[in-house]
């Protein structure tokens, strides 16, 4: 086994551990009736650490460590990192959104399954049930996660506009202005073409992967 595979196995195992903690704490907080803001506060440190660590997936793709398409990887990682830092970190109103528990549960379940799949795949030891979960749970988790992300983003817009967060106003030395509010609106609009494209891609992958596995099981 090469050094790269050992590194990837370690990376994926750490992310399984981290997202498992987030999942357990999120479900526990929901069952205890925490407010959405309190719920996010209870997992904030872990979410910041392990979601930010996903930036390494872009590096892995660029270096050829994995076969994931760079464009899709950048889009998925960037959208989540923006939600965690400029939005949830900086906007108190965003943490009160119903989107918070939706994205926390959807993200954590998805990532526990995904990183477990990747880690075991390095050893050719992925059980069929894990493959089935990876290519089936997305039917519910993906729409819930995307809805949670958008609801959280929308909840931040008024605060971003009022405080002009991360915006650059004229005049300035570079003679350029930037509205972070518009950046968020444009980001939200990219979900319109992006969601169906990725969703139907996963449906096609499910048919391909589970079809092959099912045939093997019958034989």
User: What backbone torsions phi and psi does residue 90 show, to the nearest 5 degrees?
Assistant: -100, -20
Which residue, 83, 137, 82, 106, is CA-closest to 26? 106
160's CB contacts (< 8 A; 6+ apart) are 91, 166, 167, 180, 181, 184
* 128 has a pLDDT exceeding 60: yes
Q: How many CB atoms are closer than 10 A to CB 198? A: 17
Ordered by start, the domain boundaries in the chain are 3-218
* 3-class state of residue 121 by DSSP: helix
d(CA 23, CA 13) in angstroms, rounded, equals 15
Cis peptide before 171 (omega within 30 of 0): yes
Mean of pLDDT values over 102-130 = 97
pLDDT tens, residue by residue, 182-215: 999 999 999 999 999 999 999 999 999 998 545 4
Q: How many CA atoms lie within 13 A of 13 on its CB side?
A: 9
Mean of pLDDT values over 30-38 = 98
Which residue, 72, 37, 77, 84, is CA-closest to 54? 77
Portion of the chain with pLDDT greater than 90, in percent? 88
pLDDT tens, residue by residue, 41-88: 999 999 999 999 999 999 999 999 999 889 889 988 999 999 999 999
* 23 has a pLDDT exceeding 60: yes
| Least confident interval from 66-75, 91-100, 107-116, 127-136 | 66-75
Enumerate the active-site residues.
142, 149
């Amino acid at each position: 086994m090469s050094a790269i595979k050992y590194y990837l196995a370690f990376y994926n195992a750490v992310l399984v551990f981290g997202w498992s903690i987030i999942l357990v704490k999120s479900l526990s907080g929901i069952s205890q009736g925490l407010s959405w803001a309190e719920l996010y506060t209870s997992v904030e440190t872990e979410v910041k650490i392990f979601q930010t660590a996903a930036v390494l997936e872009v590096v892995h793709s660029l270096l050829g460590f994995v076969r994931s398409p760079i464009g899709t990887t950048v889009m998925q990682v960037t959208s989540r990192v923006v939600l965690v830092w400029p939005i949830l970190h900086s906007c108190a109103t965003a943490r009160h959104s119903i989107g918070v528990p939706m994205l926390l549960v959807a993200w954590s379940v998805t990532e526990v399954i995904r990183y477990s799949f990747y880690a075991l795949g390095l050893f050719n030891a992925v059980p069929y049930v894990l493959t089935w979960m990876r290519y089936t749970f997305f039917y519910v988790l993906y729409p819930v996660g995307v809805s949670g992300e958008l609801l959280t983003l929308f909840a931040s817009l008024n605060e971003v506009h009022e405080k002009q967060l991360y915006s650059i106003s004229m005049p300035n030395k570079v003679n350029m202005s930037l509205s972070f509010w518009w950046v968020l609106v444009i980001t939200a609009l990219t979900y319109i073409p992006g969601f169906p494209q990725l969703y139907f891609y996963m449906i096609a992958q499910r048919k391909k992967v589970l079809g092959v596995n099912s045939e093997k099981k019958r034989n």
